[in-house]
Amino acid sequence: MDEFDLIQRYFKRPYRKNAKVEIGVGDDAAVLAATPGRSLVVCADTMVSGVHFFSDVSPYDLGYKLAMVNLSDLAAMGANPVWATLCLTLPTPDKTWIKSFSNGLYEALDIHDVTLVGGDTTKGPMSLTLQMGGEVESGQAITRGGANIGDLVWVSGELGVAAYILGLRIEQREGGSVDTVQLGKLHNYLDRPEARVELGLAISGVASSCIDVSDGLLADASHICDASTVGIDLELDCLPLHPSLAEHLELDKIINCALSGGDDYELLFTVDPYKQRTLFDISARLGIGLRKIGTVTNTGRVRCFRDSVDVSAKYANNLGFSHFS
């Protein structure tokens, strides 16, 4: 099987009806229609074996997650996802692996009607790059830079499970006798995250700033602070912790997972206090839990409070995952 067969067999599917894709996989480049009055939003994420995933992870989950990680970036901009390109570097063309990977990728893309329009396949150490394009009304993208002092800080869903599961997997690989089987569906928080695309679209025009929680809540809150030149005070008592974690961990450790673990792919956003009512309506309509967890301040940095006590010092070194740090 050569490169062209590989593309033909696993990544060239009949197009879903999508008027925006004029020319897709198979030419030098893909051609996509632009909609007047709308802007193009593009993002890209790479996953590297041994860094973002263990080499024995299910290829189906890997494909699924690669798509969701990009969808989450578009969600955080309030964009409607449209197309993606895939650059795949693999040591060998293992057909079973590629088939399963492409099925997982397409499952996630299909949920949000995204068309794979091109890319590149190469032989080398395993590395997977997906790039995605979406659309937003001109001027309506939700950036990290729009938070205003006095805004309230909200987050969707529940935090910390992905970090907890990842911690257990690492322990297990290092020889610990950890029983991860009993955790059942909790594994999905790490392996098959769900991007908050509908939520991102719904809070466009409502939220003043937004980011997805991929590096960890503290790190991502600090990105909003940097981009908006504001501070954020977080109320740790208000964090939406997953109830199942209480069976396995003490509260302090659960809070740690929520603050410093990445991979949650929930949306962290700021909202003018007068717009809270709209958020309740959105939460009810989409069936997604939204929680108010803090306030935008003029301190220029992220602070953490418990029972009204400033406990920031405790988390000073927990600003999340960064490559090369």
Q: Is 118 in the site for its own copies (CB under 8 A)?
A: yes
Q: Is 160 in the site for its own copies (CB under 8 A)?
A: no
Closest CB to its own copies among residues 79, 109: 79
Closest CB to its own copies among residues 37, 243: 37
Closest CB to its own copies among residues 186, 266: 266
Stretch that binds its own copies, among 130-138, 253-261, 270-278, 303-311 (CB under 8 A): 130-138
Q: Is 185 in the site for its own copies (CB under 8 A)?
A: no
Instruction: Give the number of other Cβ atoms within 10 Å of residue 2's Cβ.
Output: 9
Q: Is 26 in the site for its own copies (CB under 8 A)?
A: yes
Q: How far is the CB of 256 from its own copies (least distance, A)?
A: 20
Residue type, 92: T
The pair of structure tokens assigned to 131 is: 């790039």
* Of 169, 153, 253, 170, nearest in space to 213 by CA: 153
Answer for the pair 234, 149: CB distance below 8 angstroms, yes or no.
Answer: no
Coil, helix or strand at residue 176: coil
Q: Is 14 in the site for its own copies (CB under 8 A)?
A: no
**Binding residue for its own copies, selected from 15, 16, 54, 122, defined by CB under 8 A:** 122
Q: Is 25 in the site for its own copies (CB under 8 A)?
A: no
Q: How far is the CB of 101 from its own copies (least distance, A)?
A: 15
The phi and psi torsions of 146 (rounded to 5 degrees) equal -105, 5
Chain positions 284 to 303 lying near its own copies, rule: CB under 8 A, are none
Closest CB to its own copies among residues 203, 241: 203
Distance between CA 240 and CA 219 in Å, rounded? 17
Answer for the pair 121, 128: CB distance below 8 angstroms, yes or no.
Answer: no
**Binding residue for its own copies, selected from 15, 35, 172, 229, defined by CB under 8 A:** 35
Burial class (CB in 10 A: 0-12, 13-18, 19+), 137: middle
Distance between CA 252 and CA 143 in Å, rounded? 32
- Residue 80's region, left for phi above 0, alpha for psi from -120 to 50, else beta, is beta
Q: What is the DSSP string of 137-153?
A: ETT----SS---TT-EE
**Binding residue for its own copies, selected from 15, 16, 123, 150, defined by CB under 8 A:** 123
Binding-site size, its own copies (CB under 8 A)? 77
Q: Is 40 in the site for its own copies (CB under 8 A)?
A: yes
Q: Is 145 in the site for its own copies (CB under 8 A)?
A: yes
**Binding residue for its own copies, selected from 15, 16, 110, 120, defined by CB under 8 A:** 120
Q: How far is the CB of 179 from its own copies (least distance, A)?
A: 30
Chain positions 220 to 259 lying near its own copies, rule: CB under 8 A, are 227
**Binding residue for its own copies, selected from 18, 46, 103, 276, defined by CB under 8 A:** 46
Q: How far is the CB of 66 from its own copies (least distance, A)?
A: 11
Give the contacts of 236 (CB within 8 A, at least 6 positions apart).
255, 259, 304, 305, 306, 311
Burial class (CB in 10 A: 0-12, 13-18, 19+), 76: buried
**Binding residue for its own copies, selected from 10, 11, 25, 32, defined by CB under 8 A:** 32
Chain positions 58 to 97 lying near its own copies, rule: CB under 8 A, are 73-74, 76-77, 79, 83, 85-87, 89, 92-93
